[in-house]
Amino acid sequence: MPVPPMQTTLVLVKPDGVGRALVGEILARFERKGLQVVGLKLAHLGKDLLERHYGEHKAKSFYPGLIQFMSSGPSVVLALRGLNAVSIVRGLMGKTFGKDAAPGTIRGDFGISDSFNLVHGSDSPESAARELALFFGPGEVLDYPQGNRGWIYDVAAELS
């Protein structure tokens, strides 16, 4: 039996994560878990893009501050692929606010603020597809063999 289809999800290391020099640590956690980096770029996100990305929050009181914060400095934009990537990423990130997030999660280990929470991750496969299309153009999310896949997903056991 082959390994089930992989999901691809969007992760943003927000301006506070970039500004605090946590990009390498955050990326390493995703890679150590077994997620494959299939897209990566550093970008200063513009207001128009952010308004499309966070459009569902437009009526909420925190929306203007969120757009201002997210456009205040560069972010790292990641496309990560793996089995159940959306839920794996959300688990690694931890609860939204660092003060509430469990130790061992990105937000639990590096965050305290209710305003700055270091990372964004898609909340569903449908959101991931929409968000990836906003942040990556054609040819920017790559498909290539993951050399250690057999060790991550126990392919031999799946085939027996």
Mean pLDDT (whole number) for 78-100: 96
57 is catalytic: no
Q: What confidence category does residue 156 fall into, taking pLDDT thresholds of 50, 70 and 90?
A: low
Q: What confidence category does residue 155 fall into, taking pLDDT thresholds of 50, 70 and 90?
A: low
What's the pLDDT score for residue 47?
97
Give the Cα separation of 41 and 79 in Å (integer).
Answer: 9
Cβ burial of 14 (10 Å; 0-12, 13-18, 19+) is buried
Q: Where are the alpha helices (DSSP H) in the chain?
A: 15-19, 23-33, 47-53, 63-70, 85-93, 106-110, 125-135, 149-153, 155-159
Q: What confidence category does residue 160 fall into, taking pLDDT thresholds of 50, 70 and 90?
A: very low
* CATH 3.30.70.141 applies to domain 7-159: yes
Tens-place pLDDT, residues 3-20:
567 999 999 999 999 999
Q: 87 pLDDT exceeds 80? A: yes
Backbone angles phi, psi at 83, to 5 degrees: -65, 125
* pLDDT: which is higher, 58 or 153: 58
* pLDDT: which is higher, 9 or 155: 9
Contacts with 123 (C-beta within 8 Å, 6 or more apart), sequence order: 86, 90
Residue type, 103: P
Mean pLDDT (whole number) for 131-136: 98
What's the pLDDT score for residue 124?
96
Q: 157 pLDDT exceeds 60? A: no
Give me the catalytic one of 44, 53, 57, 120: 120
Tens-place pLDDT, residues 97-119:
999 999 999 999 999 988 899 99
Tokens of 83: 């089995």
Give the Cα separation of 95 and 91 in Å (integer).
Answer: 8
Residue type, 90: R
